[in-house]
Amino acid sequence: MSFVRVLILGTSLALLAACTAPQPGETVDGIFDPYEADNRKAHAVNLKLDEKLLRPAGKGYANVVPDGAQVAVANFADTLSLPQTVVNQTLQGKLDRAGRNTLRFVLNAVVGLGGFFDAASELGIGPEHSDFGETLAVWGVREGAYTELPILGPGTERDQAGRFVDFFTNPLSYVIPTPERHIITGSKIADGVGRRGQLSDTVDALLYESADSYAQVRSVYLQNRRYTLGEDDPGADLDLGLDTEGF
């Protein structure tokens, strides 16, 4: 599937999804969740996956892998994701940021020994991420209804369409040979497991100690996402800094 076709398909899906506009009285505190019954079923699946797989893997990773190695893996995953960030920032018209992240990628790939060391941050070029969901927001696509999907986790209709496009928009996946390109996916998985272990106490409290983990995850996701995108959100006063993708 070509890059342009993916963009057109993803944008079309997002536009169709965003047409799901809330009717008067259908939102509570800025939350539009017409698919709640199905979302809760998906949440139950994600909760079971976390309990049986991601949670123990994360704790094992945090306990077994040395801190320095965890940082190196996180840096490597960040470096491999930078070309995708550059693509999205270019599509958003943020050419200055795209240029900074291109420089960050080159520095970390070359000086940082393939990305295992964050040489760019030492020079004042810190990490910055973007995705196609943000690109759609910049283009004026509305977020649509809240959704939660198995494995992919919480999102809005706009963000879920953006995730579909993000599967195909990392330029590295088109230039790295087939066996080696799986390193991109592997690094993301390893980094995700590592972050689950590092945030174990916070995530456990959110998923297993709250009276309604579904409502808590929904609230955290929407507040954090809207804050990141600079969109208005009733009650969202700060960036919670918690990645709930996959829960």
User: What is the tens place of the pLDDT at every residue in 124-142?
Assistant: 999 999 999 999 999 999 9
User: What is the tens place of the pLDDT at every residue in 167-202?
Assistant: 999 999 889 888 888 899 999 999 999 999 999 999
Q: How confident is the model at residue 40 (pLDDT cuts 50, 70, 90)?
A: very high
- Residue 229's nearest CA partner among 121, 116, 88, 126 is 88
Alpha-carbon gap, residue 81 to 46, rounded angstroms: 24
For the segment 206-229, the average pLDDT, to the nearest whole number, is: 97
User: Higher-confidence residue: 239 or 95?
Assistant: 95
Q: How confident is the model at residue 33 (pLDDT cuts 50, 70, 90)?
A: very high
DSSP 125: -
Query: What pLDDT, on the 0 to 100 scale, is given for residue 232?
Result: 66
Host H or E run for residue 61: helix 55-64
Query: What pLDDT, on the 0 to 100 scale, is given for residue 239?
Result: 40
Residue 93: strand, helix, or coil: coil
Alpha-carbon gap, residue 27 to 231, rounded angstroms: 16
Alpha-carbon gap, residue 226 to 233, rounded angstroms: 6
Using the structure block, give the residue that is written with the tokens 């983990």. Answer: 213
Using the structure block, give the residue that is written with the tokens 């940021």. Answer: 97
Query: What pLDDT, on the 0 to 100 scale, is given for residue 236?
Result: 40
Alpha-carbon gap, residue 21 to 6, rounded angstroms: 25
Query: What pLDDT, on the 0 to 100 scale, is given for residue 238?
Result: 38
Structural contact between residues 79 and 218, judged by C-beta atoms closer than 8 angstroms: no
Q: How confident is the model at residue 92 (pLDDT cuts 50, 70, 90)?
A: very high
Structural contact between residues 242 and 37, judged by C-beta atoms closer than 8 angstroms: no
Query: What pLDDT, on the 0 to 100 scale, is given for residue 224?
Result: 96
Quick check: 220 pLDDT over 90?
yes
Please provide residue 109's backbone torsions phi and psi, each rounded to the nearest 5 degrees.
-70, -35
At 28, list the tokens: 């509570």
Tell me the β-bridge partners of 147: 155
Query: What pLDDT, on the 0 to 100 scale, is given for residue 234?
Result: 45
Using the structure block, give the residue that is written with the tokens 């690094």. Answer: 187
Alpha-carbon gap, residue 109 to 106, rounded angstroms: 5
Tell me the β-bridge partners of 210: none
Query: What pLDDT, on the 0 to 100 scale, is given for residue 6?
Result: 75
pTM of the model: 0.87
